[in-house]
Amino acid sequence: MRDHGGNLDAAMARYGGAAGDWIDLSTGINPRPYPVPDIPASAWAALPTEADMAALGEAAARAYGAACKIAPVAGAQAAIQMIPALMSPGKARVLGPTYNEHAGALRAAGWDVQEVRHKDDLAGADLAVLVNPNNPDGRRHAPETLLTLAERVGLLVVDESFVETAPELSVIPYLTSESERIVALRSFGKFFGLAGLRLGFATGCQHHINKLREMAGPWPVSGPAITIGCAALNDTAWQEATRARLGSVAARLDQLAEAAGWAVVGGTPLFRLYETGDAAAAQARLARAQVWSRTFPYSRGWLRLGLPDGAAQWARVEAALA
């Protein structure tokens, strides 16, 4: 089993309470979601058309500054599970520690996977994976360095699931339909706070995107996801205001954590990573106030927190840390 945030069932089993009693800060999902527009009955009743899918792809291309090909998928996770089939299994390297589904999906498909700690150690791999900015520590890589790195691997997969808060890091504006060495992934649900919608995108050259579209099938995303996705991706004012708000909220959470004696390791404006000295004890301390957090099997001290929202949540988190 690969561990994840969002495992509120485990919190309730260990500490009690119902789901509504808990503040779930174990994920990096925006707690203030995009306001869902009215969804026409046809979006529920009819299969998505080619025109519907094209409109969604065009909205994503405008939002991401893409000149390359785009495939809508059922969340970035769907693309992660399909990526191993783009090539015959060989040597894969993943820049870690990071989101564990990349290595898990590759191993399940027969790849020889090695986790490395330095970007330059990805060189020579048949397939290399890098998350930018990284989850959970927020490491950042300039797009120019990724373009250079791509020349040293067979295929570079860049997971940009959290890049909406730092769009200048995105490699997508640098790609064309002929950019055969990079596939970039985007998550919709995290920044827009609608993870349950299951929407994401894969971008890259014609060859790779055609293969991903074939694997995804004729209706990879739902009619409601298309309607909401088009509205949100075209709403630049909401996106700009949200980036500003998330930055200030993340800074507020850092202040509380530092006052509690924790050190800021990094993160993004959607989640923060702290060195607590004893992550299990820190998680238990929060859990007694029914605030759920994320720990990691490879670190004794690291604890990740998403963002509280609203006065009541902030009061509970502050009291738990005081």
Tens of pLDDT, residue by residue over 296-311, are 999 999 999 999 999 9
Q: pLDDT tens, 184-202?
A: 999 999 999 999 999 999 9
Domain that residue 298 falls in: 8-33+237-321
Confidence bin at 2 (pLDDT 50/70/90): confident
Q: pLDDT tens, 254-276?
A: 999 999 999 999 999 999 999 99
Rounded to whole angstroms, the Cα distance separating 241 from 270 reads 14
Rounded to whole angstroms, the Cα distance separating 272 from 256 reads 12
Query: Sign of dihedral through CA atoms 128, 151, 125, 96?
Result: negative
Determine if the pTM surpasses 0.75.
yes
Rounded to whole angstroms, the Cα distance separating 308 from 78 reads 28
Give the tokens for residue 209. 């995107």
Number of folded domains that form the chain:
2
Does residue 191 share a domain with residue 50? yes
Per the rule left: phi > 0, alpha: psi between -120 and 50, beta: everything else, 287 is: alpha
* Averaged pLDDT of the chain: 97
The answer, yes or no, to whether residue 1 has pLDDT greater than 70, is no
Does residue 241 share a domain with residue 230? no
Quote the pLDDT of residue 214: 97
The answer, yes or no, to whether residue 6 has pLDDT greater than 90, is no
Residue 3 in any domain: the answer is: no
Does residue 223 share a domain with residue 141? yes
Q: What is the CATH number of the domain that holds 260?
A: 3.90.1150.10
Geometric angle at alpha carbon 263, from 6 and 99, rounded to 5°: 35
Rounded to whole angstroms, the Cα distance separating 280 from 284 reads 6
- What is the rounded average pLDDT of the residues 218-240? 98
Rounded to whole angstroms, the Cα distance separating 248 from 261 reads 20
Q: What is the CATH number of the domain that holds 74?
A: 3.40.640.10
- Other beta carbons within 10 Å of 248: 9
Geometric angle at alpha carbon 130, from 292 and 182, rounded to 5°: 135
Does residue 98 share a domain with residue 144? yes
